């Protein structure tokens, strides 16, 4: 089955494809489906933003579509950057902004989580959402070269998301958690 992922982010397409392709799903980007739009993410929750993107692409293609909105929530920062994770600072400076705001904060108070909300709109136009989380801490410095976004500062155990393999990350990540829920839903459809 073909599913359009409402994004052109190659990292997300690769990651979602790696998780869903063994289950028999072909994941393509919105540009591969012939959709050239940039949906304004003006929702105040991950759920709202995921729906906005999935709905826009579904309306143009009338094909099964998924979109995700995800981000980092740091407890000491009252949930920042949250839904503003992608716009929290200029590209290349987001991790450093979080590290700067946590300067001097003890490690045990640097609890955080990645959250991913996936919105699926099927052929029938009905929307379903699935929210996954991965708990961890914000490290004291950037570590590792794998991954993207906040991965170099997000610690799970003694390693950052940027220090573990894609296979390992795809088993424990917030996106993997949401996609597992989505998979269970598809099996029952």
Catalytic residues, by residue number, are 69
Which residue is listed with tokens 């540009």?
31
Q: Name the CA dihedral angle for 179, 38, 65, 69, rounded to a multiple of 10 degrees.
A: 20
Q: How many CB atoms lie within 10 A of CB 5?
A: 26
**Tokens encoding 91:** 């590209």
Contact predicate 30/77, CB 8 Å: no
Instruction: Return the HEC string of 22-51.
Output: HHCCEEEECCCCCCCCCCCCCCCCHHHHHH
Q: Name the CA dihedral angle for 172, 186, 53, 77, rounded to a multiple of 10 degrees.
A: -30
């Amino acid at each position: 089955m073909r599913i359009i992922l409402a994004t052109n982010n190659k990292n997300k397409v690769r990651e979602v494809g790696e998780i869903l392709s063994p289950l028999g799903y072909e994941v393509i980007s919105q540009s591969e489906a012939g959709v050239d739009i940039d949906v304004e993410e003006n929702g105040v929750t991950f759920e709202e933003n995921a729906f906005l993107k999935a709905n826009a692409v579904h309306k143009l293609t009338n094909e099964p579509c998924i979109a995700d909105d995800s981000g980092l929530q740091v407890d000491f920062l009252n949930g920042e950057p949250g839904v503003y994770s992608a716009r929290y600072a200029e590209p290349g400076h987001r991790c450093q902004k979080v590290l700067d705001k946590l300067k001097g904060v003890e490690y045990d108070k640097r609890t955080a989580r990645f959250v991913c909300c996936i919105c699926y709109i099927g052929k029938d136009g009905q929307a379903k959402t699935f929210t996954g989380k991965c708990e961890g801490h914000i490290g004291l410095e950037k570590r590792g070269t794998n991954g993207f976004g906040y991965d170099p500062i997000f610690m799970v155990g003694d390693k950052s998301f940027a220090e573990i393999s894609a296979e390992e990350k795809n088993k424990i990540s917030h996106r993997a958690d949401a996609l597992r829920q989505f998979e269970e839903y598809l099996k029952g459809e």
